[in-house]
Amino acid sequence: RASPSVSRFASSTPHAGAEAAMEGQDAAPIFYLNGVRHVMPQGQAEVTLLAHLRGIGLSGTKQGCGEGGCGACTVMVSAYDRAASKVMHRAVNACLCPLYAVEGMHVVTVEGLGTKRSGLHPVQAALAHAHGSQCGFCTPGFVMSMYALLRSKDDKPTEHEIEEALGGNLCRCTGYRPILLGFNQFAKDAPNSAYSNETIHGQGGAATAAADSTPVSGWSVTTL
């Protein structure tokens, strides 16, 4: 089950972490990784976020083309937008993102959503149940792109928005049909839409919570 402490990070910690660094409370650069404060190594300006994640054992984020073309390395990056006065969630190609570019932000990898041992996130389960994974190499990237889309919107996405969000993810096994069938169940124009608070914030794994604490579908994000 998701830790209650993890649930607060997406809304508060990226902003708080950046302010703490600016105030000189911690000289080392930091970011938050799957709900846990993570100190960045110093003197590694040439290192990408992908290389760092895989170097510390988070190998769910895949090394594919290395050029931002396949989407296998997709993670979600959350950061506080002062102009909008809210946390913004974006899908990012970790192979192109310098490690230090996420200082003070919150990075969520596929391991942070859920695992077979701790429980799958609904987005992961939907893809598995639709047989949308064959070799599995591209699967984490598709999952993170879909999750970032759900987190970035205030309401249910349309099927067209889902297709657009997955435009940067390549699959050479499935032909995309089962992937779309699995994810389209979260669309607003799908019958019996699976979109719910659990879908957005997760029940198994360390998925992050929303920028607000408005209850949805009977769940309260402050408890997930």
Q: What is the pLDDT of residues 86-121, one digit of tens each?
A: 999 999 999 999 999 999 999 999 999 999 898 999
pLDDT band, very low/low/confident/very high, at 1 (cuts 50, 70, 90) = very low
Model confidence at 209, in pLDDT bands (50, 70, 90)? very low
pLDDT band at 26 (very low <50, low <70, confident <90, very high): low
User: For residue 197, what is the enclosing H or E element?
Assistant: helix 197-201
Angstrom distance (rounded) from CA 79 to CA 51: 21
Residue 76 pLDDT? 98
How does residue 201 score in pLDDT terms, banded at 50, 70 and 90?
low
For range 132-140, the mean pLDDT: 95
Share of the chain above pLDDT 70, in %: 73
Res 218 pLDDT > 50 = no
